[in-house]
Structure 1
């Protein structure tokens, strides 16, 4: 709650501050938006220089450049730009751990931060393939990594049905067969085993759970079985009975 309030206050103050300033009538940029096109995450940062002209009668100094994204870097020349001359601001975009389309607004402040201009950079990030441990932190042995160790369905009432997805990866250079073996009964749980995985394959499977007619919480354990060899580590599924919670609150 405190974090939400802090974010709201920060945004409110930023908007209020912006309203207290005026769009610059002196500086004109040669382009407002730069299209980076396809950006490969593996190639690192991309940079572009926005060129502007001072159309006023007195020198202009760029005081600051701001963006709501920490992935934007900038270089500001503190030297005054004389009337009729050109200056530039250099914008750097960092695609690390980003994917897909991006469009970032940058606010350029001048005249002791009393005036501002808006410019944009945009493009599409093609993500790099990161080490499997970064996206699938749980090692279940024999080359199988999962994104979750515990699948928490939260509170459910009897008869209610929910779905959750489990991301998994084969980190070996060979094809393997992956199935999940339940320990004991698994009432209400349905899923389709992945079966054969290609070398280095990463994929996702769906678990569907229907809460049985019970007054208790549900805890299930599934064991990944790789090429017939069962893992010592279990994937745990936890479901809390909402009726049990209501009864506890009532008491």
Structure 2
């Protein structure tokens, strides 16, 4: 009888140690960050372009936000592409552009990218252009 009481006591203590406490639900509000920049086109097909004649490609965008957008960096995917961009702050409602100038030295199909970093987007925007050098 004593062993049964000890067993019951041990069993009771075991169940008490696995007591289920009410859980607290934590709700986190995640706001979707919307881009302040609307690009006219993120990919441009140039079609056929002549060899040894540099071709300029303009990527235009509009600042649709409430604060100024500043382009902090523009980087081409290769040395065959030069870049230029608006250096002054782009105010809300204004448009601006990033220009890539491709030196079409080698014949054949190509695809190139230009990466644009701004204060408006966490992730840099990758713009691309393609075509065939004839």
> How high is the TM-score relative to the length of structure 2?
0.69
RMSD across aligned positions (CA): 2.0
Alignment of 1:88 onto 2:82: no
Match of 2:67 among 58, 61, 68: 58
Q: Is the 8 A contact 1:64 1:113 kept in 2?
A: no
Task: Verify: 1:41 aligned to 2:32, yes or no.
Answer: no
Question: Distance between the aligned counterparts of 2:132 and 2:45, measured in 1?
Answer: 9
Match of 1:27 in 2: 37
4+ residue segments displaced more than 3 Å: 112-115
Taking structure 1 as the reference length, the TM-score comes to: 0.38
Instruction: Give yes or no for contact 2:69–2:120 (8 Å, CA) kept in 1.
Output: no
- Are 1:24 and 1:117, in contact at CA under 8 Å, matched by a contact in 2? no
Higher relative contact order (CA 8 A, sep 6+): 2
State the alpha-carbon separation in 2 of the partners of residues 110 and 36 from structure 1. Answer: 26
Say whether the 8 Å CA contact 1:63–1:113 is kept in structure 2.
no
- What is the deviation of 1:68? 2.2
Q: Which has the higher strand share?
A: 1
The number of residues matched between the two structures is 102
Structure 1 unaligned spans of 5+: 1-22, 127-251
Kindly provide the CA deviation profile for residues 195-242 of structure 1, in whole angstroms up to 9, marking residues without a partner as x: xxxxxxxxxxxxxxxxxxxxxxxxxxxxxxxxxxxxxxxxxxxxxxxx
**Does the 8 Å CA contact 1:72/1:91 hold for their aligned counterparts?**
yes
Asked whether the equivalents of residues 37 and 120 of structure 2 are also in contact (C-alpha less than 8 Å), the reply is no
1:108 maps onto 2:116 in alignment? yes
* Structure 2 residue runs without a partner (length 5+): 1-32
Q: Write out aligned runs for 1:82-231 (5 A).
A: 82-96=91-105, 98-111=106-119, 114-126=122-134
Which structure has the larger Rg over C-alpha atoms? Answer: 2
